[in-house]
Amino acid sequence: MKILVTGGAGFIGSAVIRHIITNTHDSVVNLDKLTYAGNLENLIEVSNSERYAFEQVDICNRAELDRVFATHKPDAVMHLAAESHVDRSIDGPAEFIQTNIVGTYNLLEAARAYWNELNTERKTAFKFHHISTDEVYGDLPHPSDSVECLVVSDESKENVECSMLSGELKESDECLVLSGELKDQSLITQHSQLNTAEAPLPLFTETTAYAPSSPYSASKASSDHLVRAWLRTYGFPTLITNCSNNYGPYHFPEKLIPLVILNALEGKPLPIYGKGDQIRDWLYVEDHARALYKVVTEGEVGETYNIGGHNEKTNLEVVQTICKILDELAPMSSSSTSLNTKHSTLNTEETLNTEEQLNAQHSKLITYVSDRPGHDRRYAIDASKIERELGWKPQETFESGIRKTVQWYLDNQDWVSNVQSGVYQNWISQQYGGE
């Protein structure tokens, strides 16, 4: 099988390609524009394979897409190319509309024109897999929203006005009153918190209504709609996956986890938006890559699969965990806890006396900054469908995955400095004569 992967030089796309080349007999064509986020160094371990080819192409360029389909004749498309950073989308949404919406439209049309000309056998087997995000669903109730959970156990249930309630109240149902109130206070028989074992917080499922908050998530939601419409209107064989936040090796340092690791190593401030209580459901990128390959090879056309790691953590918990691992793997001297001073050493052999160690916690670098607009408070995925139907489960816990990730950044300082200095882009120009 030959798979056309768009955005294969990015964080997740490169993990997908490394997975396919290393663990299967399939071939890959990597189609990538190589924006600031695309880095061919992410693929060095597989790019010599005869089963790997690279095309530097913008998905907004229809003629070039047609050429790539005609030249490589793929059996499936995995579409990951996108502008992917929420903060950048707030500063400048135009590029997000162009790549994520117009680019996806172009790719759908180029792929459909190619698919229309395939013989019946190849046409029937063809799949277009669109890779999307859980951010299209907006955000979910947060534990701190749990003002009151009122258990009502009276016959006169129609007296209750609950804005969060859907369906009918049954005896001893929890009534999640976030706004609205009971007309007859005598109905209240018990108060408890929202986030109890009896009333777990809701999760995103494949049927959760779309409610994107930022230009990024709105552009991804829009592309999901296009993909579904191409299935419904033209019978074009599409599948969609919506995944939670990824982390792991080769993550571009503008995103939270690599940013925190690298800033901590340099003794720089570790910025936390607001109170740091935003909850994300973290998934190790290699688990995501395995899930995506399973979906493109075994998933059912027309279906959507949510992918998540069952790892709900607040941003503050994530940052504190990284700090603790760094305290152990790359201890800093007390002098480097002052902001903007250089991290003393990466040498784990260095011994600090107890007092120094106490003073030298990376968590002292945590700095709170104003929250950004359009910042969702909680995401969490119900990934039971992909587990039930395709037998996929994450292999890493957050604790094991984050330790591997921190270790990877410690072991790959050359990759980091090439990304930070922009050297990787010079290399691309020399290699391909591109931008």
Site residues for ligand NAD per CB under 6 A: 6-7, 9-13, 32-35, 37-38, 58-60, 80-84, 99, 103, 131, 133, 220, 243, 245-246, 252
CB 2 within 8 A of CB 29: yes
d(CA 49, CA 18): 10
d(CA 289, CA 151): 43
Residues 6+ apart with CB under 8 A from 181: 161
Return the sign of the alpha-carbon dihedral for residues 175, 307, 397, 324: negative
Nearer to ligand NAD, 103 or 401 (CB): 103
Residue 327 appears among annotated catalytic residues = no
The separation between CA 201 and the C-alpha centre of its own chain, rounded to angstroms, equals 21
CB 246 within 8 A of CB 284: yes
Sole residue written with tokens 């330790």: 403
Residue 216 appears among annotated catalytic residues = yes
Which of the following is catalytic: 55, 135, 224, 376? Answer: 135
Which of the following is catalytic: 52, 114, 137, 216? Answer: 216
CB 375 within 8 A of CB 256: no
Nearer to ligand NAD, 88 or 142 (CB): 88
Residue closest to 17 by CA, chosen among 271, 368, 288? 288
Nearer to ligand NAD, 30 or 344 (CB): 30
Helix (H) or strand (E) holding 400, with range, is helix 398-411
Q: How far is the CB of 388 from ligand NAD (least distance, A)?
A: 21
Q: How far is the CB of 282 from ligand NAD (least distance, A)?
A: 9
Nearer to ligand NAD, 38 or 267 (CB): 38
Which of the following is catalytic: 64, 134, 173, 376? Answer: 134
Length of the chain (residues): 435
Residue nearest to ligand NAD (CB): 10
Residue 145 appears among annotated catalytic residues = no
Q: How far is the CB of 35 from ligand NAD (least distance, A)?
A: 4
Nearer to ligand NAD, 338 or 426 (CB): 426
| Catalytic machinery residues | 134-135, 216
